[in-house]
Structure 1
Amino acid sequence: APVDGKAEKRQKGAKLHYNAQLRSMCWRLASSLLRTGGKFYEYYLKEKDKYQHRFRDESRLIVPATQLPKKDGKRYEPEYMISAGHVHNMALRKMIKLFLTLLWLSWREGEGLPTREPYPVEYLGHEHPITPEEMCDR
C-alpha cells in the first residue's frame, strides 16, 4: 500500500504492511513472464506504450536514469522528466496485477467458489474484461 503516494520501503524496526517474500516473488515472476514472451509480454508492451504516450502528452521527457539530473549526489526526477526504468516498472506492475487477478479468478473457479466481476468492470465501467483464456498462449 502506498505511503504518502510512494511505495513503502523497509525501515529498521518498523512493521511492513505487505508480505515482502510475496512481493519479491511477484517481481521475479514478472521478469520471467517478460523473458518468455507471449500474451503477458504483449500486454506489457501495450501498457508501456500507453504510459509513454501519456508522459509525452504531458510534455515529460523519458530518459535513461543516467541522464537524470543530480541533487546532493543523488539522481532525481524533475517535473518535466521521468526515467525509462520508472516507465518500465509501471508497465511491469500492471502486467503482474493482471496475472494475479487472473490467477485469483481461475483458482476460485477451480475450487468451485463464487467469483465477482473484476474491479475495472464492476467499478470503472469497463465492458470487456480480460479472461484467463485470452491470456493463454496455447
Structure 2
Amino acid sequence: MEQKHEVLRIWAESLYDHQDVRLRSHNRVRNLIRRKLLDLGFKPEKKKKKEEDVPEGSEWDDKKLIKLLKEAEKKKLLSEADHSFLTKSLELAQNEHQVEKDYEKELRPLIEAEPIWMEWLQYVNGISTRNTTRLLKHFGYCERFDTISKLWAYSGLKVQDGHAVMRKKGELLGYNLKIKTAMVGVIGDCLIKSNKSYKKRIYDTYKKRIQARGCCEKKHSKHKGKMCKDYPGHSARMAQRKMVKIFLAHYWLKCRELKGLETRGPYAVDKMKHTTNIKPFYDKQPDKQ
C-alpha cells in the first residue's frame, strides 16, 4: 500500500509539473496575442452577465483565442504572417496538454481504487479523479492533521482574530500558497460549477447571509467606492472560502474514519455547544452492495 501511494505521489507531482509548464507557456502566448491585438485597436466584446460571474479579462479566455485571431484577420488587423505565427504558437502551447492527459490516464485506476474515492468522493459532483489526486497529493488521509483546524491552517484557511489570514509584506507565509490556490481556486470553482450540494447548501446560503448584513464597512476604491454589501464579487469570494472549508472538514472526517484514526466534531459543536453539525454531502447515492 505504501509503495502504491509513493507511485501515486510521484505521478501526481509529475502531472502538476507538466501542468505548470503548460500554464506558463500558454500565459505567455495569450499575453502576446492580447498585447498585439490591443495595440492594433482590436478589443473583444464582453458578454453582459452578473458582475460576480464575469472575472476581469475573461474575454481573453484560452478557448476564445483562436476565434479572436480569426476575427482580427477578417478585419485585416493582422498580416498573414502574424496570424500564422500567433496561431502556431497557440497550437504548440495547447499540444503540451497531451502529456498531462497521459499521466491522468495512468493515475485514474489508482485513484478509483482509493477508499476515499470509493466511499465518498465519487459521489460528490465537482470532484473528479484529478481533484482527488490533488487532495491525496497534498493531504493524504489526513494522518498528519489531528484536528480540522490544523488542516485549514496548512491550507491557508485559518482565522486569526476573527478574520482570514492575509499576506503581509516582509512576513513569511504560515501556509502553502499553492495548496490554498488549489483548494479555493480550483476545487472551489469545480464545486460551484457543479451546482450541487456544496454550492446550493453552503455557497448560496452563506452568500445571501453576507449580502444581507454587509461583510464590512470599508469602501473599495477600485470599484467606484461601493460598500462591500453592494459589491457581489466580495461576498462571492467569502462564500467560496466558506464552502471549501466545509468540504475540507468533511474530507478530514471521512479520511480519518477510513483509517481508523481519532475524530472529533467541529470546534463550534464540541466547545461552543452549537447544535448544527453539517455532515458530508452525497450528490449521488452510493451503490448498494
TM-score category, normalised to shorter length: 0.7 to 0.9
Larger of the two Rg values belongs to structure: 2
Aligned to 2:283: 137
Percent of matched pairs sharing the same residue: 29
The 1:104–1:40 alpha-carbon spacing in structure 2 relative to 1, beyond 3 Å, is same
What secondary structure is seen at the aligned counterpart in 2 of 1:131?
coil
Instruction: Provide Cα deviations, 1:35-85, integer angstroms capped at 9, x if missing partner.
Output: 0111001120001011111129x9x7xx9x86432xxxxxxx6xxx11321
What secondary structure is seen at the aligned counterpart in 2 of 1:52?
helix
The 1:50–1:7 alpha-carbon spacing in structure 2 relative to 1, beyond 3 Å, is same
What letter is aligned with 1:54? Answer: R
* Corresponding residue pairs, total: 122
- Residue 126 of structure 1: CA displacement? 1.6
The 1:107–1:84 alpha-carbon spacing in structure 2 relative to 1, beyond 3 Å, is same
Answer whether contact 1:2 1:8 (CA < 8 A) is retained. no
Aligned to 1:53: 212
What letter is aligned with 1:99? Answer: F
- TM-score if structure 2 supplies the norm length? 0.37
What letter is aligned with 1:30? Answer: G
Alignment pair present for 1:68 and 2:207: no
- Structure with the higher strand share, 1 or 2: 1
1:21 to 178, 201, 207: 178
Instruction: Provide Cα deviations, 1:85-118, integer angstroms capped at 9, x if missing partner.
Output: 1111111111000001000000000001110111
Aligned equivalents of 1:47, 1:84: Cα separation in 2: 12
Q: CA RMSD in A?
A: 3.0
Aligned equivalents of 1:44, 1:20: Cα separation in 2: 22
The 1:102–1:20 alpha-carbon spacing in structure 2 relative to 1, beyond 3 Å, is same
Aligned to 1:38: 196
Worse overlay, 30-39 or 122-131: 122-131
Aligned equivalents of 1:93, 1:86: Cα separation in 2: 11
Q: Kindly report structure 1 stretches of 4+ aligned residues shifted beyond 6 Å.
A: none
Aligned to 1:74: none
Aligned equivalents of 1:68, 1:124: Cα separation in 2: 40
Unaligned runs of 5+ in 2: 1-157, 285-289
What letter is aligned with 2:261? Answer: L
- Residue 128 of structure 1: CA displacement? 2.7
2:234 to 86, 91, 100: 86
Aligned equivalents of 2:203, 2:268: Cα separation in 1: 18
What letter is aligned with 1:16? Answer: L
What secondary structure is seen at the aligned counterpart in 2 of 1:124?
coil
- Residue 7 of structure 1: CA displacement? 3.8
- Residue 32 of structure 1: CA displacement? 0.6
- TM-score if structure 1 supplies the norm length? 0.74
Answer whether contact 1:39 1:136 (CA < 8 A) is retained. yes
Alignment pair present for 1:117 and 2:265: yes
